[in-house]
Structure 1
């Protein structure tokens, strides 16, 4: 039975982002009876298709990848136990913006994007779609990306902007009363990856002779989504939910190869590597910390 006392809202850019970043967190809170809502901003129409027999779904062919990924997302949510998952504005309202890699190795907007791309969305219009959900669900905690979208993807950056703006607008009594009764979100977190854990994991893989997983990543020069531990605020450590997380990731079959880096580790190492999901507190007051020196519950202090 869902508890009305703990409600978690996650805002992600594309199907699969949620399972990679927060799969264990989502499964844990569902198992504990909290209400978990996922909002996905686009259906990832421009994603790369990694399954040869489904290559015809790609944007430059049949252009039906978004609809297919909606099915993958539904299957992933089944594995995590999440029954409340929505698409911002409705399926197909915002299209994947695509991306490219810049000279610094960061993701950035593609040279050409369509007018319906999420990157070009009117910020107030997009926020209003989320305001309506916030006022309906009334979550105490919202999770999204940092201001850089963790690695620069334009849709991740836009999801951050929309989430913050909607969180502000949702609490204003006089703003758009037609969207529901006002609601103030108590805590807003940015997803993060612990630099120390990522560094240790890379070294373990390399020491084991694996030179292809996370190819090109150097433990001593990590990408910007790896956040040094001093800047982390919270951790949800749920190794018991790693099997569900990995099953959810496998459900995104067009995007994540079953023999890729995420699944290269044995069960025990995977529980260590993927069972602890970290966060930075971007809004609200930090609650009590545990033995880790971090909050160990996103609802801590509420």
Structure 2
């Protein structure tokens, strides 16, 4: 991967197929449309499984220039997602950090994007991936950390996908069953970036619907699909992030042209 370039590279790291589309699909499409480069790393669902095939379809809809990188662990709640591999929660953490550091050093991104520390709504796999990304970003530039995994690389900024409290409150009247909206939300004042992704909404929705298995299986996804058009557009048409710069000035995700 060429590191000498003015193109800002972002790597999106998610736990499961469909997370990339639902939570960060607009940012992926917008970042690429505005001249950036992006890759996707997904922790679970092994190549050859049906949801991995759906992930490939979603990635194409979002305009990703390369196929997603799959770490190959099992979803902690779906063992058949990687029949010959352990759950993402069962592998020694240091081993996973080393694996992600190797990807960071290979891809050499300025930006890493993942979930907030609560995994947006408390999913243990999401929380685990947040911790994994933070640890790998800290380790990747260290000269003496796993030198066999590539040249050290300093990520400039971390972005954490979240939902503002105002958006949670907008959706809640339409989803009265708390099981379908177990989200507390981040206070609006604590949000560092809100991306208007209306111009990428078509690609984002097509990517979400590429995950046919999850759309059919998940009561939460079906309930979201039944929300009236305006609040649904408010939810899907804007994406919110908190930001942590690892070097002064950091790097901009999907900057305006």
Tell me the TM-score range normalised by the shorter chain. 0.7 to 0.9
| 3-state SS in 2 of match to 1:144 | strand
| 3-state SS in 1 of match to 2:49 | helix
Cα deviation code 1:1-23 (max 9, x no counterpart): x9752111111000011111001
Say whether the 8 Å CA contact 2:27–2:254 is kept in structure 1: no
Say whether the 8 Å CA contact 1:240–1:271 is kept in structure 2: no
Q: Which runs of 5+ in 1 are unaligned?
A: 46-63, 100-113, 206-213, 289-294
Structure 2 residue 145 is the aligned partner of structure 1 residue 175:
yes
The change in CA–CA distance for 1:284 and 1:191 in structure 2 (over 3 A counts) is: same
Tell me how far apart the structure 2 counterparts of residues 298 and 83 of structure 1 sit (CA, whole Å). 17
The change in CA–CA distance for 1:134 and 1:252 in structure 2 (over 3 A counts) is: same
With normalisation by structure 2, the TM-score equals: 0.83
Number of aligned positions between the proteins: 242
Tell me how far apart the structure 2 counterparts of residues 216 and 269 of structure 1 sit (CA, whole Å). 17
Tell me how far apart the structure 1 counterparts of residues 163 and 205 of structure 2 sit (CA, whole Å). 17
| 3-state SS in 1 of match to 2:154 | coil
The Cα of 1:71 is off from its aligned counterpart by 0.4
Q: Which runs of 5+ in 2 are unaligned?
A: 79-83
1:253 to 198, 208, 212: 212
Tell me how far apart the structure 2 counterparts of residues 273 and 151 of structure 1 sit (CA, whole Å). 15
The Cα of 1:199 is off from its aligned counterpart by 1.4
With normalisation by structure 1, the TM-score equals: 0.71
Report the structure number with the largest CA radius of gyration. 1
Corresponding residue of 2:91: 121
2:226 to 259, 264, 276: 264
| 3-state SS in 1 of match to 2:38 | strand
Say whether the 8 Å CA contact 1:145–1:156 is kept in structure 2: yes
Tell me how far apart the structure 1 counterparts of residues 154 and 247 of structure 2 sit (CA, whole Å). 14
CA RMSD of aligned residues (A): 3.0
Corresponding residue of 1:76: 58
Cα deviation code 1:38-88 (max 9, x no counterpart): 100001x8xxxxxxxxxxxxxxxxxx9x70000000001111011331012
The answer to which structure, 1 or 2, has the higher relative contact order (CA under 8 A, 6+ apart) is 2
Tell me how far apart the structure 2 counterparts of residues 238 and 129 of structure 1 sit (CA, whole Å). 32
| 3-state SS in 2 of match to 1:256 | helix
